[in-house]
Structure 1
Amino acid sequence: MKDFIITTDTTTDLPASYVNEHHLGMMSLPYTIENQTYTWEHSLPEKEFYAMMRNGSLPTTSQANPEEAENLFENIIKTQDVDILHIAFSSGLSGTYNSCRLAAMNLAEKYPDNKIIVIDSLCASMGEGLFVHKAVMMKEEGKSIDEIAAWLEENKLHV
């Protein structure tokens, strides 16, 4: 059985310490506030972000495009030669899931020995983060990528 990595996106609101501890791949969905764009790697301090919002600034977000998703997945495959289970931001709120699905389809031809499964979490924020956490716990219990993907698909309407 080939090893696999769980990837997700920044809408999970998972702390960097959790992401690093569990070796998660992270797709950064940028946000813009007061004409400045930030990413997960280079974010605005929380107190400053919320102060801007209290003062009337409204942040906007951007979805990942297929090229960004493909770059993340391909980099993981090239450097680690693992399968990927990607848990995506809700398709009802963003086109990110579709971008990831298209990226996985494109890479399937190039890397036929590596599986990329993309799950539409149908969640955001804490719901998506809990979904990812459950997948991490299942992986740590020794469940396979297919077992975890099946559980996620069967249970995503119950989050």
Structure 2
Amino acid sequence: MPKIAVMTDSSADINTQQAEQMNLAVMRFPLMIDGQEYIEETEIKTPEFISRMEQGAVVKTSQAHLGKLIQQWKDLLEEYDEILYIPLSSGLSGSYQSALTASAAFDGRITVVDARFACYPLAWLCQWAQAQIQAGHSCEEIKNKIEEEADLWAALIPEKLEYLKRGGRISAAAAALGNLLKIVPILKVEHGGIDVLGKVRTVKKAYQVGLDAIAQVNDPSDYEWMIVEADMKEEAEDLKRQMEERIGQPVTIHAMGPIIMAHTGPRTLGYGRVKKLKF
């Protein structure tokens, strides 16, 4: 049986220690903070990143440097026969397409998967893939299963519009009007992209609308249920209790990393479901 490494990127929201514990290779993305580049986790940790955003820094993200990705692949292939690479959704970044193009030079030793996932669900999927490798499934079989059946549906609620405005994702006028009317946007993560689910007047109402949306399934036991939080541990615990009462399934909480937080800001909660996959 070939020795296969499973690899993801910064969008999976796992730090260096977690990656080592999970035996996952991670391609770290660059962040532009007030015009200066930092490599996520390597050159700036999440607490400092949150502090910089709260202090007014303008943050932008970009996909991984292709040369560094290729070098990381080469280093891994000195120890492994193959690499299964599961990056950020193609609906949110050009990283997947760039990696797919670059992988052609490796004679089939690298399999790039478009899971259409982001945040901790991506790390969860990588662990599932590792289990399938141990069970004897090939990279191609795992890729096909993920791309045909994997499903992530989540609500994403940023508490403040300021960060969306600062990053140029909404206009200053729209942010000012939203703050004046106390509008809270509810975003949805579906089919690998992010869109607007709705807008309400209070954060409490936003959480309820998001919960109503994610709970619309026939059998909750067919899914894994997760919360990702950006500096909102207390609120995440409260939401966890509400979710578990509503769906009757365990819910796990994970910290949100800088890549998605760069777009929504600190004080953001994401919560939803991931379909369980079986061969």
TM-score normalised according to structure 2 size: 0.49
Task: Determine the structure 1 residue equivalent to 2:119.
Answer: 125
CA drift of 1:155 comes to 2.4
- Structure 1 contact 22–136 (Cα < 8 Å) conserved: no
Query: Percent of aligned positions with the same letter in both sequences?
Result: 28
For the structure 1 residues 67 and 45, does the alpha-carbon distance in structure 2 shift closer, same or farther, using more than 3 Å as the test? closer
Matches within 5 A, 1:45-64: 45-64=45-64
Task: Determine the structure 1 residue equivalent to 2:28.
Answer: 28
Task: Determine the structure 2 residue equivalent to 1:115.
Answer: 109
Secondary structure at 1:31's aligned position in 2?
strand
Count of aligned positions = 153
Distance in 2 between residues matched to 1:63 and 1:5, nearest whole Å: 21
- Structure 2 contact 10–26 (Cα < 8 Å) conserved: yes
Task: Determine the structure 2 residue equivalent to 1:99.
Answer: 98
- Structure 1 contact 70–107 (Cα < 8 Å) conserved: no
More helix by share: 1
For the structure 1 residues 84 and 45, does the alpha-carbon distance in structure 2 shift closer, same or farther, using more than 3 Å as the test? closer
Distance in 2 between residues matched to 1:53 and 1:28, nearest whole Å: 19
For the structure 1 residues 43 and 94, does the alpha-carbon distance in structure 2 shift closer, same or farther, using more than 3 Å as the test? same
Larger RCO of the pair (alpha carbons < 8 Å, separation 6+): 1
Amino acid paired to 1:104:
S
CA-based RMSD: 2.1
Rg bigger for which structure? 2
Larger CA deviation: 89-98 vs 17-26: 17-26
CA drift of 1:104 comes to 0.8
Distance in 2 between residues matched to 1:32 and 1:122, nearest whole Å: 24
Gaps of 5+ in 1: 109-113
Matches within 5 A, 1:140-159: 140-158=134-152, 159=274
